[in-house]
Amino acid sequence: MTAPAQPPVAPATHWPALLIAIFAGAAGAFCLGKVPAVLGLLRHELGLNLVQGGWIASAFNSLAIVLSLFMGLLLARWNALQAGVIGLLLLLLGGGLALPAHGLGMMLASRIIEGIGFLLVSVAMPSMIVSLASERDKRLALSLWAVNLPLGAAIGMLLTPALAALGGWRLAWLAGMALQLLALLLLLACKPVFRQRSLQASQPIAAQAAPFSVLRQAAVWRYGLAFMLYTLMLWAVFVWLPSMLHGRPELSARHIALLSALAVVANIPGNLAGAWLLRRGMARDTLICSALGLMGLSGLLAFWPGLSPNAAYLLCLALAFCGGAVPPAALSSTHGLSRGPVQLAILQGYFVQLANLGQLLGPLLLAAMVAGSADWSVARWLFMAGALLAALLFAMRPRSH
C-alpha cells in the first residue's frame, strides 16, 4: 500500500526579509520628518515666503489624500516587490532633484516625486510582508509594520537639524538618500525569497477581482475613521508642540527640537505594545477604542488651565504612547478584510488617505481654536471631542451574533 500523501508544510515566517520591508517603509518615512525640522532654513536659503514653505511642507499630505487609495491598483500590474523598488527609486530621484534646487519650482517637484515614491512603498510593503509571513504571524507582521512611520519620521526629525548644522540641508537630504539606497539594495536581495513565497501563495484570479468592493464593509469604515481620529489628535500635538515649548525661555532651540522629536519617538513603544496586546488576544475594537479614549483624556489634561509645563509635556508623551496602539490594530485588520494583494494594498492606501486627512485637519482645528489668543487651554475641547467621537464610533458598531 502507498502511504497517504502528506500535506505540504506551510513555510515559516521569513523574518529577515520582513524586517527589510519594514526598514524600506521607514526609509521612505524619513522624508516626512526631514522638511519640518529645517523648514526655516529652507525658507531662508531658497527665498520662500510662509505660504510657499507651507506648500513644500504639506505636499505629502495633499498627495496622500488625493492618490493613496488608487496606488493599490498598481499592484494589479506590478507585484509588491516591484512596486516597492519603483517607489524607492522615485524617492531617490526626488531627493536628487532637490540638491541643485534654488527656488520653489524645483523643490516642489522634488517633494511631489518623493511623495509618489513614499505612497508606492507604503501600499506595496504590507502585501510583501503578508507573503513573507506564516498564516499564524500575518497579523503580528502587519502590526509591526505600523512602526515604520514614526520610526522614519523620528529619525528624520532628529538627524536633519544636526546634519544641516554640519553641512547644510543638502547633507541631510544625502543622508536620507543613503538610507533609501540601502533599503533598495536590501529589497533587491529579497527577490529570490519573495518570488518563492509568491508562487506558493498564488491566488486564483477570481479571488483578486473587484478591488474596491473591499471598501463596502462596515469594519473598514470604522477602522479608517478611528485611524483618522488618531492622526488628528496626534498631529495636533506634534505640529504645535514646538510652538508651545517656545514659550519657555529656559529651553534652547536645540532642546525644543529634541523634546519635539521625543514625542514622536514615544509613539513607537505604543506601536509595539499594541502589537503585543493583539498577540495576547485583546479584541481589536476594544484596543482601538481604549487607545483613542486615553489619547483624548491625555490631551484634555495636557491643555488643562493652570497645569505646569512639565506635566503638560509628560501628558503629550502619554498621548503619543497610548495612541501608538491604534495603527497596529487598524493596519493588521487588512489581512482579514481583504482578498488578494490588490485589495490589501487598496485598504492600506485607504488608511494612508484618512491618516493624512487627520494630519491635515488636526493642526488646522487646533490653530483655529487658539487663534488670536495666547491661551492654549482652549485646545482641550478638541481632545475631549476626539474621545467622544471614538466612543460613539464603536458604540454604534454592529454586534456579532
Give the chain's domains with CATH numbers.
Answer: 13-201 (1.20.1250.20), 214-401 (1.20.1250.20)
d(CA 130, CA 10): 14
Locate 216 and state its grid cell: 463596502
Q: Tell me what the mean pLDDT of segment 321-325 comes to.
A: 95
Sequence-ordered list of residues with C-beta below 8 angstroms from that of 249, at least 6 positions apart, any chain: none
DSSP tag of 373? -
This prediction's pTM: 0.86
Give the pLDDT confidence of 103-145 residue by residue, as tens digits. Answer: 888 888 999 999 999 999 998 999 899 888 888 888 889 899 9
How many residues in total does the chain contain? 401
Q: Residue type at 164?
A: A
Query: What pLDDT sits at residue 7?
Result: 47
Give the pLDDT confidence of 91-107 residue by residue, as tens digits. Answer: 999 999 999 988 888 88
Number of Cβ within 10 Å of residue 255's Cβ equals 12
**DSSP sequence for 246-313:** TT-TTS-HHHHHHHHHHHHHTHHHHHHHHHHHHHTT--HHHHHHHHHHHHHHHHHHHT-TT--HHHHH
Q: Tell me what the mean pLDDT of segment 309-319 comes to.
A: 91
Distance of CA 1 to the CA centre of its chain: 57
Q: Tell me what the mean pLDDT of segment 14-34 comes to.
A: 92
Query: What pLDDT sits at residue 18?
Result: 92
* Radius of gyration, CA atoms only, the chain: 21
